[in-house]
Structure 1
Amino acid sequence: MEGEFTTSDGTKLYKKAWKPESGHISAVLIFLHGFSDHINAYYDFFPTLSSSSFNIAVYGFDQRGWGRSVRKPSECGLTGPTTLVLSDIHDFVHHVASLPETQGKPLFLMGHSMGGGEALCYMLSTSPAFSNRPPIRGLLLEAPYIELDPSEQPSSLVVSAGKLAAMILPHNQMKQKLSATYMSHSAKVRQDWIDDPLCHDTGTLEGLKGLLQRSGDMSALSHGRKVHGLTNKLPCSVWVAHGTSDRVVSPAAAQRLFEVLEAPEGDKVFHPYPDAYHKLHAEPDGVGEQFAKDVASWILAHTAESQGAAQVGT
Structure 2
Amino acid sequence: MEGEFAARDGAKLYTKTWKPESGYISAILIFLHGFSDHINAYYDFFPTLSSSSFGIAVYGFDQRGWGRSVRKPSERGLTGPSTLVISDIHDFVLHIASLPETLGKPLFLMGHSMGGGEALCYVLSTSPEFQNRPPIKGLLLEAPYVELDPSEQPSSLVVSAGKLAAMVLPHTQMKQKLHATYMSHSPKVRQDWVDDPLCHDTGTLEGLKGLLQRSADLSALSHGRKVHGLSTRLPCPVWMAHGTSDRVVSPTAAERLFKVLEAPNGDKVYHSYPDGYHKLHAEPDGVGEQFIKDVASWILAHVAGSPEAAQVGT
TM-score normalised by L of structure 2 = 0.99
Q: Could you tell me which residue of structure 2 aligns to residue 3 of structure 1? A: 3
**Structure-2 separation of matches of 1:308 and 1:43:** 24
Deviation at 1:304, TM superposition (A): 1.8
Secondary structure in 2 aligned to 1:30?
strand
1:27 partnered with 2:27: yes
Q: Is 1:267 the counterpart of 2:267 in the alignment?
A: yes
Contact in 1 for aligned 2:54/2:308 (Cα 8 Å): no
Q: When the two structures are aligned, how many residues end up with a matched partner?
A: 314
Please say if 1:76 is aligned against 2:76: yes
Distance across 2 between alignment mates of 1:311 and 1:297:
9
Unmatched segments (≥5 aa) in structure 2: none
Query: Residue 48 of structure 2 aligns with which residue?
Result: 48
What is residue 284 of structure 2 aligned with on the other side?
284
Structure 1 residue runs of 5 or longer lacking an equivalent are none
Moved runs in structure 1, 4+ residues, more than 2 A?
Answer: 305-314
Aligned residue in 2 for 1:86 = 86
Query: Hey, what's the Cα distance between the residues in 2 that align with 1:94 and 1:59?
Result: 12
Give the corresponding residue for 1:15: 15
Computed over aligned residues only, the root mean square deviation of the Cα atoms, in angstroms, reads: 0.9
Percentage of identical aligned residues: 86
1:150 to 2:150 alignment: yes
Corresponding residue for residue 245 of structure 2: 245
Letter in 2 for 1:89: I
Deviation, 1:311, is: 6.3
Residue of structure 1 in register with 2:163 after alignment? 163
2:218 corresponds in structure 1 to 218
C-alpha distance after superposition, 1:258-291 (max 9, x if no partner): 0000000000000000000000000000000000
Give the CA deviation at 1:308.
5.8
CA deviation vs aligned residue, 1:34-84 (integer Å, no higher than 9, x gap): 000000000000000000000000000000000000000000000000000
Q: Give the Å deviation of 1:310.
A: 5.5
Partner Cα separation in structure 1 for residue 119 and residue 312 of structure 2: 26
Asked whether the equivalents of residues 111 and 142 of structure 1 are also in contact (C-alpha less than 8 Å), the reply is yes
Structure 2 equivalent of residue 231 of structure 1: 231
State how 1:119-158 maps to structure 2 within 5 Å. Answer: 119-158=119-158
Structure 1 counterpart SS, 2:14: strand
* AA partner of residue 134 (structure 2): P
- Partners of 1:208 and 1:202 lie apart in 2 by 10
TM-score (norm 1): 0.99
Inter-partner Cα distance in structure 2 for 1:242 and 1:80: 28
Instruction: Provide the secondary structure at the position in 2 that maps to 1:3.
Output: strand
Cα displacement string for residues 76-105 of structure 1 (whole angstroms, at most 9, x for unaligned residues): 000000000000000000110001000100
Q: In 1, are the aligned partners of 2:30 and 2:58 still within 8 Å (CA)? A: yes
